[in-house]
């Protein structure tokens, strides 16, 4: 898209397609929504929301508008546009309503990595206290504990998860049965990054709490992909990445903690106010000058989802994933890692492919502009702009490549 077209696209906010259209012809509703609310060209099939989502027009517009107003200083509210020193109460109130928690318990960060690092660094452990985790964690989740292990000697132990699991309980049991006498912290993802498997978070957290353990959930894939209420998850700390599934611009993160646990957490990046515990989560947003436009974009993303209706979004993206799963299940050369159990996945399914097919398949996807994560473990992660034809293109390409390679 040329720059002129882009600017005019941002200037004219299109109304969402109507509910009447949704009821009459849901496929047309989603196609129209993609066409009018996203900048994605028709030629792109984007199924890599698990890495980073695509920002819709209202979000881009909010970011741009904020930057312009800040530069022009035209609105008194914008006179001091530095979110690294502000409490951002109205923005946190909107985010907290969506995430299901109190605004006082929620801080904005730049990404999940920052929130995860802050949590790992900020928890006091005694010598020998152990952190127990799964063998499926993202490097951004593992690294904070590995650093702690290297620096203070607190062991970080990773337990193999059964993949694919027979049931949600199988995942909980694998982790909970590995708790040992020195275990002090349980750290795990709410949705496992490489496979999209949904962990039974509440069950694990309740069992851990009963044993007096601290629970830390890496929710990078949770908020926006499946329904959640942070204050009902049962965890002590949670880190999230709104730029994956919540339509937020890149550079948005969240850190949540239960009130009494936030009080016990040390901040890492600090300026004035770092020790004002009465400010609750706000202490973790006092990090120095930042780009508030990103936060305005994140809030616009939540509003965009509210307007469509998050239940409608969750239904749509899960049904796309179910379609992709069924296609994968029919292919003998695919190892499907997503079980036939709706409780175990949201909108991200994953498959293992033999290198012999995976390499030419990746190359072909690139040529045909089908965006997915690269490797022999492939994730298909769809959002509301993903079209059924995109899933067809993915599997059609895979079938062609398989035929050619003779598997
Ligand atoms: C499970 C998980 N945790 C953490 C991260 C890091 O997220 P961010 O890039 O927002 O810091 C990712 C990113 O893919 C992830 O999948």
Overall average pLDDT of the 79-95 stretch = 86
Residue nearest to atom 1 of ligand 1 (CA): 193
Probe residue for ligand 1, chosen from 222, 241, 375 as the CB with the greatest number of ligand atoms within 8 Å: 241
Q: State the closest ligand 1 atom to the C-alpha of 191, by its place in the atom list counted from 1.
A: 1
Q: For residue range 236-289, what is the model confidence (pLDDT) as tens digits?
A: 999 999 999 999 999 999 999 999 999 999 999 999 999 999 999 999 999 999
Spatial contact of 350 and 193, defined as CB atoms under 8 Å apart: no
Spatial contact of 381 and 54, defined as CB atoms under 8 Å apart: no
Q: For residue range 325-351, what is the model confidence (pLDDT) as tens digits?
A: 999 999 999 999 999 999 999 999 999
- The second-level CATH assignment, the architecture, of 3-55+309-405 is Alpha-Beta Complex (3.90)
The lowest-confidence range among 39-43, 92-96, 251-255, 314-318 is: 39-43
Overall average pLDDT of the 185-199 stretch = 97
Probe residue for ligand 1, chosen from 113, 196, 237 as the CB with the greatest number of ligand atoms within 8 Å: 113
Q: For residue range 17-71, what is the model confidence (pLDDT) as tens digits?
A: 999 999 999 999 999 999 999 999 998 889 999 899 999 999 999 999 988 888 8
The pTM score is 0.95
User: Where along the chain do its domains lie?
Assistant: 3-55+309-405, 76-302
pLDDT grade, residue 78 (50/70/90)? Answer: low
Q: Is the pLDDT of residue 140 over 60?
A: yes
Q: Mind giving me the DSSP string for 333-398? A: T-EE-S-S-GGGBSSEEEEE--HHHHHHHHHHHHHTTEE---SSEEEEE--TT--HHHHHHHHHHH
* Residue whose entry in the numeric block shows the structure tokens 């709706």: 342
- The verdict on the CB of residue 172 being under 6 Å from ligand 1 is no
Q: State the closest ligand 1 atom to the C-alpha of 115, by its place in the atom list counted from 1.
A: 11
Spatial contact of 99 and 228, defined as CB atoms under 8 Å apart: yes
* C-alpha to C-alpha distance for 96 and 105, rounded to whole angstroms: 8
Q: Do 3-55+309-405 and 76-302 show the same overall fold?
A: no
- The verdict on the CB of residue 113 being under 6 Å from ligand 1 is yes
Gap from CA of 150 to ligand 1 centroid (Å): 22
pLDDT grade, residue 13 (50/70/90)? Answer: low
**Which segments of 214-260 are extended strands (E)?**
214-218, 237-240, 253-257
Strand 348-352 to strand 370-371: parallel, antiparallel, or no bridges (unpaired)?
Answer: unpaired
Tell me if the bond preceding 164 is cis, omega within 30° of 0: yes
Percent share of the chain, pLDDT over 70: 95
Residue nearest to atom 16 of ligand 1 (CA): 193
The pair phi, psi for residue 294, each rounded to 5°, is -65, -40
Gap from CA of 224 to ligand 1 centroid (Å): 14
Gap from CA of 350 to ligand 1 centroid (Å): 17
- The second-level CATH assignment, the architecture, of 76-302 is 3-Layer(aba) Sandwich (3.40)
Overall average pLDDT of the 73-94 stretch = 80
Model pLDDT, residue 69: 86
Gap from CA of 109 to ligand 1 centroid (Å): 13
Model pLDDT, residue 76: 63
Gap from CA of 293 to ligand 1 centroid (Å): 21
Model pLDDT, residue 70: 83
Mean pLDDT of the chain: 93
* C-alpha to C-alpha distance for 229 and 212, rounded to whole angstroms: 22
Percent share of the chain, pLDDT over 90: 86
* C-alpha to C-alpha distance for 187 and 125, rounded to whole angstroms: 14
Q: Read off the DSSP letter of residue 162.
A: P
- The verdict on the CB of residue 96 being under 6 Å from ligand 1 is no
């Amino acid at each position: 898209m040329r720059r002129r077209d882009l600017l005019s696209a941002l200037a004219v906010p299109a109304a969402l397609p109507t509910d009447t259209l949704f009821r009459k012809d849901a496929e047309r509703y989603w196609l129209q929504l993609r066409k009018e609310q996203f900048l994605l060209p028709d030629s792109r099939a984007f199924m890599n929301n698990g890495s980073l989502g695509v920002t819709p027009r209202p979000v881009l517009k909010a970011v741009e508008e904020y930057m312009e107003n800040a530069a022009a200083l035209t609105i008194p509210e914008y006179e001091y546009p530095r979110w690294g020193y502000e409490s951002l109460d109205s923005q946190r109130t909107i985010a907290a309503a969506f995430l299901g928690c109190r605004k006082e318990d929620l801080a904005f960060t730049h990404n999940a990595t920052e929130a995860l690092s802050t949590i790992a660094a900020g928890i006091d452990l005694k010598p020998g206290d152990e952190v127990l985790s799964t063998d499926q964690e993202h490097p951004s989740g593992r690294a904070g504990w590995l650093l702690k292990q290297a620096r203070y000697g607190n062991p970080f132990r990773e337990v193999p998860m059964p993949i694919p699991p027979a049931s949600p309980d199988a995942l909980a049991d694998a982790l909970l049965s590995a708790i040992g006498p020195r275990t002090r912290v349980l750290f795990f993802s709410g949705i496992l990054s490489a496979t999209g498997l949904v962990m039974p978070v509440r069950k694990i957290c309740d069992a851990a709490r009963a044993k007096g353990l601290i629970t830390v959930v890496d929710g990078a894939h949770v908020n926006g992909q499946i329904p959640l209420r942070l204050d009902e998850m049962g965890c002590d700390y949670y880190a999230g990445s709104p730029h994956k599934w919540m339509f937020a611009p890149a550079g948005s993160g969240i850190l949540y903690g239960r009130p009494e646990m936030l009080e016990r957490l040390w901040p890492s990046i600090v300026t004035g106010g770092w020790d004002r515990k009465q400010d609750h989560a706000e202490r973790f947003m006092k990090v120095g000058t930042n780009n508030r436009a990103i936060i305005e974009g994140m809030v616009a993303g939540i509003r965009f989802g509210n307007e469509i209706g998050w239940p409608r979004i969750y239904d749509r993206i899960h049904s796309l994933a179910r379609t992709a799963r069924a296609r994968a299940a029919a292919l003998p050369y695919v190892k499907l890692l997503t079980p036939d159990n709706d409780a175990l996945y949201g909108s991200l399914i994953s498959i293992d492919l033999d290198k012999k097919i995976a390499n030419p398949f990746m190359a072909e996807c690139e040529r045909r502009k089908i965006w997915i994560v690269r490797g022999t473990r492939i994730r298909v992660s769809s959002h509301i702009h993903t079209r059924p034809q995109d899933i067809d293109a993915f599997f059609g390409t895979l079938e062609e490549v398989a035929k050619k390679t003779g598997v």
